[in-house]
A and B are shown apart, each in its own frame.
Chain A
Amino acid sequence: MKISRRNFLKGSATTLFLAGFNFPVLANSEKKKNLVVIMLRGGMDGLCAVPIIGDKNFEKRRKDLILDETIKLNSDFALHPKLKNFYNLWQNNLGTIIHATNIPYTKRSHFDGQNLMETGGHIPYSIKTGWLGRGMKLADLKGDGLALALPMPLLLRGIPSNDNFYPSKKRLPRTELLQLLKSVYTDKSEHDLANMMEIIANRSMMNNGGTSMSRKNSSLAYKAGLELKKINGPRVAVFEVDGFDTHAAQGGVNGSHSDSLIEMDSIFKSLEKGLGSEIENTLVLTLTEFGRTIKQNGGRGTEHGYGSAIFMAGGLLKKSQVYSDWPGLKRKELFEGRDLNSTIDARSIYASAMSTVFDLDFKRIQKDVFWGENLQNLSDKLFKI
């Protein structure tokens, strides 16, 4: 392990001062740029996905969970050996990892944590919209969101008329009937219902062969890739991967945590296939509620922790890199003596990503999406501007 804590710009005054001199990002209306968010539910173990190399504190604390044959990314970090598709992107300069990062939530409840990872706030259940929905609203992207899930994720709320796709095998009723319902909804001021009926009536996906589609994330991702590729298609897509909450039998390379990571990896692959060359204009990133304890528990699993990692992929990335202000794993360096610390507010990454993909000034996102909180603009470090 060679990495040590770098000197990051600290303190709100400095950050705000610098933020004040940001040049507004110039809108590039030529290209349609896409943002894809993969929500990893249950608490993704950043240290299982992207282990640190040669750290005795790490190896000692989870000796039964250390992976064999990891893929070396640089002198400090390796990649889980099953993340082959991500590694492929990495080799083409299309993959980045942010390590030791999390939303500013430290209390270890899935429900509160997942609520906050989607709202971007501090008090669970107090905010009714998602950071992505608010960012899309700021960018005026009404009707441009697509969730590949059956309920509409909180993350996308804040802008109306999002679509979701999770194919049904049955035929829709005739158009006249849908139109009648839409007009009834409108008459009764049921605007949310009216908006949804509008989407349903216009749905093209269902009719062109969507009937026999599988609901596996890998096939949904291929479909989403094709839609995102269209010039008038959606610009934002949201996926969900469950099963990261491995309190028991987390296992090694073939354990339960790996299964969920492999599912995430399949999304990268299918998206790339569906998007074709448009992967160049797309940014994919992950989101989770917290990482997991460094120490393995009695059941060869891990408990709810704090710091985790973010995966990013696509052609809008500056280069392949592990970007981290590594806090270290000695006891005193751990959060509450047990968890990987978070040295980068994950919301800084999300705000910078939206700034890049939606062509919005970072400061506006900081102010209107994240209530003017102290976030770092990392656009020039992570993304092509």
Chain B
Amino acid sequence: MKNFYRKVAFGLGPDDKTPSDPLTWAINQLKDIPEFSWKGKILSEKELRKYYRDYVYGDRKVLRKKFKNDKDGYKREKNKLRHATGQKFWWNLELCIRYSEALKSAKPVLAKLWYFWGNHFAISEKDFLAQYTTGAYQREIIRANMNQNFEKMAQEATIGWSMIHHLDNDQNVGPKSQEARWAREKGKTKGVNENHARELLELHTVSPDCGYTQEDIIQMAYIMSGWRPKWGKKRLETGDVHFNPDAHEPGTKIVLGKKYKNGRKSLSDAITDLVNHPSCRKFIAMKLCRYLITDNPTEEMMEPIIKAWEKSDGFLPEVHKAAIEVAFNYSDKYNKFQNPENWLLQMSKMADVDLIPSPSFMDLYKLGNKPIKDQRALERLMDELGQHPYLAKQPNGWSDISEDWMSPELLIRRLVYAREAYYRKSGKSQTPEYYEEMIKKNYDNPDEILKIIDQHKELVHKHVILFNLPETLKS
């Protein structure tokens, strides 16, 4: 049962008392979205997007022209521009904010679910989104909507600047629209870009299980045509997202048999229908079970989550509650191989690893300077472990399938970074007594585990073994 603390959160840390009722402990963390526990600077998505703007504008419109014939000068000035816009710093700050929720907040269960949703509506590696805005998108659009209906999260994520840019909807122009006509008059072609429409159906809402066709995707793309950032000479593609009727495909569209009238409102109407499609709740229930319980969820596991969704109209705190209950009920039967990020956070929490730089240290950073090495430690560590949360390779995010995380090279990372982490602990947690207590608190078979790790004398070796035992790798 104690794996439940790791399954739905990151285990129990030195300051956590063992809850008398684990299920209530977990469920009580789901209702409200508290302030961030990070006490340092937190920038808004809009502010960060301005830095992004300054970078792309400065690079594309200024430096490339100015240094057309001077490759080295270009390289040098571009590096200055990177630092002038905080390109190497912001995402490290975002990781501090992100991991504080797992390690320092009173609601680690909420944090684990936040990571789930951030990955569900993933912004994968594209341009410099990760360096500037992905973290803020996950704070302002994903986390902020975790006490709302799924529909609200889906609506906001879909027209979020990051998502629109990430999935090329700024390139999506109705072929019969005014803008396409103007383009044709100039001898150019503008047309539909299906990318975002496809992912909205496939990854974010109904999934291919609902049986949509290529025609549904094209029709959805027509509905989405015209949703794009406000273009400006200086801001380029970084303006706020708005609906531009000139680029919108005229006429009625049909997606999954439902008709949508021409215009701005058709997108939100279509999203309302998608999130209320039975395939959508089934898909989300499956993904939640897969994330928390097992690679191959059964119908019985998914059923209570689907029911809670139907009863509450997709109200996320209720959906989460049902998912946590199911995870609790199956905690003795199933162990889920943890992805590198969850593994690192579990180790950090249970062994009291000083993972996150302090707010005052991060706030020492001055724009224009190169961040110092320790201010960039988290970005590098996540990359090394094979799972930087803002750099998923594809829009379907990081995999929730165990096998995708099983490889010698990834296991090597866990071995070497378990060792590194040991040396980032306070002296008071570097004692055998600390380990004994922590193991008793977090594992159902403490005696067996203690016997195994006692085969090595040095505490650092015991630490490395503990965090690579099957009991830890799977929870």
Contacts and interface: CB of A to CB of B under 8 A. Distances in A.
- To the question of whether A and B form a pair in one complex, the answer is yes
Most buried by A among B168, B412, B470: B412
Contact of B214 (A108, A154, A164): A108
A173 B460 CA distance: 10
Interface stretch (A48-56, A73-81, A185-193, A350-358): A185-193
A150 B396 contact: no
A193 B415 CA distance: 13
Contact of B203 (A111, A172, A178): A111
B433 to A, nearest CB: 22
Given A180-B456, A247-B171, A298-B171, A196 B461 contact: no
B470 A150 contact: no
B410 interface: yes
B330 interface: no
Interface in A156-214: 157, 162-166, 168, 170-174, 176-178, 180-181, 184-185, 188, 190, 192-193, 196-197, 199-200, 203, 206
Given A168-B413, A297-B191, A190 B470 contact: yes
Contacts of A163: 408
Nearest to B237: A248
Contact of B417 (A170, A247, A298): A170
A58 B329 CA distance: 60
Contacts of B399: 151
Interface stretch (A93-101, A299-307, A316-324, A340-348): A299-307
Interface in B13-72: none
Nearest to B187: A63
A199 B408 CA distance: 7
Contacts of A164: 407-409
B198 A109 contact: yes
B348 interface: no
Interface string B388-410: 00000111100100011111111
Nearest to B453: A180
Nearest to A163: B408
A367 interface: no
A252 interface: no
A184 B470 contact: yes
B384 interface: yes
Contact of B171 (A150, A197, A248): A248
A303 B193 contact: yes
B273 to A, nearest CB: 21
Contact of A200 (B393, B411, B456, B465): B411
B456 A177 contact: yes
A271 to B, nearest CB: 20
Contacts of B171: 247-248, 297-299, 301
A107 B214 contact: yes
Contact of A177 (B180, B183, B194, B465): B465
Contact of A173 (B404, B416, B473): B416
Given A151-B386, A298-B171, A242 B393 contact: yes
Interface in A207-259: 242, 247-248
Most buried by B among A114, A174, A197, A303: A303
Interface in B420-475: 420, 452, 455-456, 461, 464-465, 468-470, 473
A299 B214 CA distance: 21
A157 B405 CA distance: 13
Contact of A166 (B173, B403, B404, B409): B409
Contacts of B406: 152, 192-193, 196
A132 interface: no
B191 A298 contact: yes
Interface string B196-211: 0010001100001000
Contacts of A299: 168, 171, 193
A165 B409 contact: yes
B208 to A, nearest CB: 7
B194 A151 contact: no
A180 B454 CA distance: 11
A170 B407 contact: no
Contact of B193 (A185, A190, A247, A295): A247
A106 to B, nearest CB: 9
Given A181-B468, A193-B470, A150 B407 contact: yes
Given A111-B396, A297-B171, A193 B408 contact: no
B147 interface: no
A173 B415 contact: yes
Nearest to A124: B208
A65 to B, nearest CB: 12
B416 A168 contact: yes
Given A196-B408, A203-B408, A298-B173, A303 B469 contact: no
A104 B394 CA distance: 22
B237 to A, nearest CB: 10
Contacts of A304: 194
Contacts of B214: 107-108, 336
B195 interface: yes
A188 B468 CA distance: 13
Contacts of B394: 41, 110-111, 114
B190 interface: yes
A342 to B, nearest CB: 16
A184 B452 contact: yes
Contact of B412 (A124, A200, A336): A200
A296 interface: yes
Given A112-B208, A196-B407, A172 B412 contact: yes
A157 B180 CA distance: 46
A144 B468 CA distance: 25
Contacts of B242: none
A174 B399 CA distance: 31
Interface of B: 168, 171-173, 180, 183, 189-195, 198, 202-203, 208, 214, 384, 386, 393-396, 399, 403-413, 415-417, 419-420, 452, 455-456, 461, 464-465, 468-470, 473
Q: Which 7 A-B residue pairings sit nearest by Cβ, starting from the closest?
A: A298-B190, A299-B171, A152-B407, A170-B416, A150-B386, A247-B168, A164-B409
Given A41-B393, A197-B411, 6 more contacts: A147-B407, A170-B420, A173-B464, A297-B189, A298-B192, A336-B214
25 contacts: A41-B394, A111-B395, A124-B208, A150-B386, A151-B407, A152-B406, A163-B408, A166-B409, A170-B419, A171-B416, A172-B416, A173-B416, A173-B419, A176-B456, A177-B456, A177-B461, A177-B465, A190-B470, A192-B406, A193-B470, A193-B473, A247-B171, A298-B173, A298-B192, A299-B171
